[in-house]
Amino acid sequence: MLRQINVIRTFVLYSILLHFIVGCKSVEPVIKLDTTPVIASMDLVNIIEDKVPVELKISNISTDTISYYLPKIVPGTYQNNDYGKYIEQFKAFDKEGNELKVEKLDNNRWKIGNSKSLNKITYLVNDTFDIEETHEVFSATGTNIAQNENFILNLYAFVGYFGNMKEKKYNLFIKHPIDLEASTSLTEYLPKEPLAGAIYDTDVFIFKRYADLADSPIMYSVPDRVTFTINDIEVLLSVYSPNKVHRAAQLMPQMERMIRAQKNFLGYIDTTKKYSVLLYLSSAKSNDAKGFGALEHNTSTVVVLPESIPLKLLNESLTDIVSHEFFHIVTPLNIHSEEIHHFDYNNAKMSKHLWLYEGTVEYFSLLFQINQALITKEEFFERILEKINNSKNFDDTLSFTEMSENILQEHYNENYANVYEKGALISMCIDIIMREKSSGAYGILDLVKGLSGRFGSETPFKDEELLGIIEEISFTEVTDFLNAHVVNNIPIDYGFYLKKVGLIYNTVEVPSGYFIYEQEPFIKGSEATKKVVFTEGVERSNFLRKAGIRKNDILLGINEKKYTIKNIYDLFSDSNKWNVGDDILFIIERNNQILRFNSKVITPTVEKIMLEENPNATSQQIDNLKSWVND
C-alpha cells in the first residue's frame, strides 16, 4: 500500500545519482554508502529491441544461494499472469563484475549461486501491450514500452523481490527522456532541474517495502494532465491519447464532479491525500492494448480505453469505471484481511471476502450516484434490476466465501465476474437490513466506516473473525444474512428485501424493433449451416410470439424473400418498410419440417420486468426507501 515516506536525504542517494545520472543533475560529495535498501534502476532511454534494461543492487546476503522473484499474481487481479515470462537475459554479478551461476526454476523464479558475493542482477523486460494475442494479461494490469512516446509502468512487472526480503526498503531510479514526465501519486525525492541541454533526466522514488512499490503505477508521456483538489485530496488526471483525440482538460469537469460527489457520499472517511487517474487511450491497432477497463491501486488507478470512443461515451465510461476504482480507497486500502496485507505474490492465499472488496465497492459506485442526485430513482432501480438479471448467468449454488477463497481455480474463476453482480446485491441487501433495523438511521456505509475505524491500512483482520466483528458493530440480522447467503449457498430472494423499501416487480410492454431490442437481437447466423436462427429473445417479442415463432426455429423466408446468413442484415432494413396491418408470411424450419405461418404486422414490443414503487407500501417501507435513495 502506498504511503508517504519522509524524505531520505542520505548520501546513498547522492552516490547512486552520481553513478547513474552524472551530467544530468547536480550531486553532493559521497561520504558514506548506505547499502540497506535494494537499489533498483530502470532505463527508459536506452531501450533494447523494445525492452527496458533493469538493474538491482543488493549486498550483505548471508546465505549461499538466494532466489529472485517476479510476481505470479498481484493484488486486485484474480488470475495468474506470470510476469517473469517477460524477463530476458537475466544475469547476476559480484563486485568485480564476474558473472554468478543462475538457474531459472520456473516462470517467475531465478536461483542465484554464491550469493554471499552477489552485487547486482540485470535483465531486460518486454512489455505486454504489443503482444496481447499471445497471452491473457489484462491490459490495465500489463505494461507498455513505446520508446520516446509512452511507458505504462506497473512496477511489479519490472522490479521483483529477493526471497524473504519483501519488507526491505527500495530506492528506485528511473532514467527517462527529458520530454516524458511521470504521472503518479508518488512523490519524487531529491527533485532538481536538469541541466540545460540534457536529453534525459532521472526520477527517484523511495518505498518502505516491496508491496508499496508494487502498488504504485507510473505513466511516462508528454504531459497532458490536470490536477484539482477535493476536500484536501489532490486528484491528478493524466491522459495519453496518441492521436490527440481527447485531452485531460476536456475530461476534467465530469471527473471533478464525480469525485466530489463520491467524497460527499463518503463523508469523513479520509484515507489518502493524493489520487491519480492514469488514462491510456489505445489506438486499438494490432500492436496496441485491447483489454479495456481498469486496475485499482490504493491511491491510483490505471485505465485503458479505446481512443476512438466519443467524448460523451468516454465520460460515461470513466464515471462507471473510475467511480468503482476510487472507492477502493476504503476497501481494501483501509479494510482488508491478513491475506491481502501480507500478500504472497507467488503462492497467493486468497481472502474469503470478495463480496466486501469488490461487491461493496461496486454497490457504492451505484449508490453514490442516486445519493448525490447524479441519476434518477428510475435509473437506479433499473441498474439494480440489471444486476439481478446478470447474476442469473452465474452459478447461484456456490458459496461466495468458498468461491473467493478458491478464485484461482477454474470452476470458481469462471464465476468471478459475479462479484460485480451478486456481490453488489449482497451489499444492497445488507444496506436494506440495516436501514430497516435502525429506522433509516444507519446503512452499509456506516458499517464500512465502523470497520475502517476499527482497522485501518496497517491493521488487517482475520478472515474467520470478520463476520463476528460485523455483528458487533451492526445487527445480528446482518450476520444471519451473511451466514445464509454468503458463507452458505442459499440463493437470495431479492424481492423479499426490495419489498422492505417499498419496491415491487412489474411487467410492462416497451417498444422494440421487429428483430432486436436495444442490444439484444432475436436472430443470429449459424456459421455451420449458414442459416438464420431465432434466439430465446423471441419469447419476449409480442410480434414474433404472436406469429408463432419459437426459439431455435430456422428462418427460411418472409413473404417472397429468402434469408440466409449472407443477407441476414436485410431483415432490419426490410422490416423498416412494413406497415402495421400488412399481411406477412413466415417460412420456418422446425424439427426438420417446413412450416408456414400467416400473420399480421403489429407494433413490436417486448415484455420488460421493472422495479417500481409499490402504491400500497407501508409508511415504514416508504421511510426506508427515502433513507435508501436519499429522497
CATH of the domain at 396: 1.10.390.10
Domain count along the chain: 4
CB 2 within 8 A of CB 218: no
Residue 313 lies in a domain: no
Residues 461, 365: Cα–Cα separation, whole Å: 24
φ, ψ dihedrals at 113, nearest 5°: -85, 160
CB 551 within 8 A of CB 539: yes
Q: What is the CATH number of the domain that holds 215?
A: 2.60.40.3650
Number of Cβ within a 10 Å radius of residue 475: 18
What is the rounded distance in angstroms from the CA atom of residue 428 to the CA atom of residue 498? 9
Element holding 476 (H helix, E strand): helix 476-482
Q: Is residue 317 part of a domain?
A: no
Kindly report the pTM of this predicted structure: 0.85
Same domain, 201 and 346: no
Cis peptide before 310 (omega within 30 of 0): no
Q: 93: which DSSP letter?
A: E
Q: Say if residues 20 and 39 touch (Cβ distance below 8 Å).
A: no
Query: Are 380 and 483 within one domain?
Result: yes
The whole-number pLDDT of residue 245 equals 97
Residue 562: CB atoms within 10 A of its CB come to 11
Cα(553)–Cα(122) distance, integer angstroms: 63
CATH number at residue 298: 3.30.2010.30
* Tally: H helices and E strands in the chain: 18, 30
Domain of residue 407 covers 330-504+611-631
307, 342, 370 - which closes a domain: 307
In a domain, 323, yes or no: no
Tell me how far apart the alpha carbons of residues 29 and 100 are, in angstroms, rounded to a whole number: 32
Give the end of a domain, one of 172, 196, 221. Answer: 221
Predicted pLDDT of residue 32: 41
- At residue 20, the pLDDT reads 39
| Residue 58 CB contacts under 8 Å (≥ 6 apart), including other chains | 35, 38, 39, 118, 119, 120, 121, 162, 165
Pair 86, 195 in one domain: yes
Domain match, 69 and 152 both: yes
User: Of 179, 196, 221, which residue is a domain's last?
Assistant: 221
* 69 and 125, same domain (yes or no): yes
Residues 213 and 228 both lie in one domain: no
Let me know if residue 325 belongs to a domain.
Answer: no
Same domain, 28 and 91: yes
**Residue 577 CB contacts under 8 Å (≥ 6 apart), including other chains:** none
Distance between CA atoms of residues 296 and 264, nearest Å: 21
Total number of residues shown for the chain: 631
In this structure, the number of other CB atoms found within 10 A of the CB of residue 95 comes to 10
Instruction: Assess whether 450 and 474 both reside in one domain.
Output: yes
- Report yes or no on 324 lying in a domain: no
Q: Identify whether 376 is part of a domain.
A: yes
For residue 22, what pLDDT is reported?
35
Closest CA to 349 of 462, 439, 248: 462
Residue 348 near residue 408, CB atoms below 8 Å: yes
- Cβ of 605: how many Cβ atoms within 10 Å? 16
Whether residue 619 sits in one domain with residue 480:
yes
2 located within any domain:
no
Q: Is 104 part of any domain?
A: yes
Question: CB neighbours (10 Å) of residue 609?
Answer: 12
Same domain, 335 and 379: yes
How many CB atoms are closer than 10 A to CB 232? 9
Identity (one letter) of the amino acid at 532?
Answer: V
- Residues 6 or more apart from 281 whose CB is under 8 A from it? 239, 240, 241, 242, 245, 246, 304, 305, 306, 307, 309
Same domain, 478 and 526: no
- Which amino acid type is present at position 400? F
| pLDDT score at 518 | 87
370 and 500 in a common domain:
yes
Q: Which residues of the chain have pLDDT under 70?
A: 1-35
